[in-house]
Structure 1
């Protein structure tokens, strides 16, 4: 399976608490809920399309707890996000959780990096990561991300947990798709492009 990461992110790189004011106030963060004013049918359809390609989910503890507290209550059969989240396998990376009760959830044991590599070697389409800021830093540090879907919201916050933290590997990414919604959200998809390339402006490559 390809490991794909989907994130809402501000122009200044913050990914904390996009969904609502109380979603993740850790660190004294007070700006939660910055996506909603910029949503719309185009953004919604894009997110549904991403979920339609999932064969499994990989979640960090915080995102697992947020999702598990909400999505099991969404039981409409035509809900194209709730259905895959509630029925497909979910793998949870956490050193503090002792059990996961959401249906079809499995707590990863042992070394997270090796566990993720084993999952990636399994047959299927996409192993999807949504949110999961702490887990994402581990995935980036070990170069495990194949595809990165960024929904860039036209706001700046100045504080909060960042998409790319210390330890992110220097890499070149290839833009695979891009478009802008009527409300100014940039929908960007990147694929791994190999090692970082550098050069001097004005000189031939």
Structure 2
């Protein structure tokens, strides 16, 4: 089975909306777009190159796909991330797109959970998801994510779209790796370990044991 990996830039208070630019996503009146930029240094850039190099395919929602398709082909293959993304197979989840001009792109227009589950069953390497907030919520509801790579920036922005929103399937995760850059960005990798486990603690619980 292929591994499905969700990679996400995230603020310390859990927001994933508009990490790259002020006008990237202003839905809901979000006014803090571009919060990654001041802390995004060469060290983090190299970490992102290494993460992208692991990908064997890319799975995207329509909005993220359209943004990527309008930019990465123009960057050129001298950029290692562009070279990788332009080459590998891409799958875009959309019921409105009829054509996809970015090379090696397939449109998934049916039952999202079913089609993604079938992709995971095919032979091959890792399938990476970037951005694609609405798609990620669907993947979480159907427990289809094998690994999270969370890139947490030491900033607080308040209200905004969050990665783990309502509908996330309860689960227990395993911390596989964590590290920090010189600007305080923490990169942590979590894998699925099993169902959510609960318990009780504290002296007030002793009589109920």
TM-score (norm 1): 0.95
Contact 1:175 1:191 in 2 (8 A): yes
SS at match of 1:158: coil
Contact 1:23 1:66 in 2 (8 A): no
| Structure 2 CA distance for aligned equivalents of residues 80 and 201 of structure 1 | 49
Structure 1 runs of 4+ off > 4 angstroms?
Answer: none
1:64 is aligned to 65
SS at match of 1:42: helix
Number of matched pairs? 204
Bigger shift: residues 35-44 or 172-181: 35-44
Matches within 5 A, 1:1-205: 1-75=2-76, 77-202=77-202
Q: Which runs of 5+ in 1 are unaligned?
A: none
Deviation at 1:125, TM superposition (A): 1.4
Deviation at 1:109, TM superposition (A): 2.6
Query: Of Structure 1 and Structure 2, which has the larger fraction of its residues in helix?
Result: 2
Bigger shift: residues 48-57 or 36-45: 36-45
Q: Which runs of 5+ in 2 are unaligned?
A: none
Deviation at 1:12, TM superposition (A): 1.1
Deviation at 1:3, TM superposition (A): 0.2
Deviations 1:165-188 (A, max 9, x none): 110011111000001111111100
| Structure 2 CA distance for aligned equivalents of residues 16 and 96 of structure 1 | 23
| Structure 2 CA distance for aligned equivalents of residues 7 and 96 of structure 1 | 25
| Structure 2 CA distance for aligned equivalents of residues 129 and 107 of structure 1 | 15
| Structure 2 CA distance for aligned equivalents of residues 98 and 157 of structure 1 | 37
Deviation at 1:149, TM superposition (A): 0.1
Deviation at 1:145, TM superposition (A): 0.3
Deviation at 1:126, TM superposition (A): 0.4
Deviation at 1:97, TM superposition (A): 2.2
Deviation at 1:96, TM superposition (A): 2.5
| Structure 2 CA distance for aligned equivalents of residues 26 and 103 of structure 1 | 29
| Structure 2 CA distance for aligned equivalents of residues 24 and 72 of structure 1 | 21
SS at match of 1:81: helix
| Structure 2 CA distance for aligned equivalents of residues 54 and 19 of structure 1 | 21
- Please provide the CA RMSD for this pair: 1.5
SS at match of 1:70: helix
Deviation at 1:95, TM superposition (A): 2.3
TM-score (norm 2): 0.93
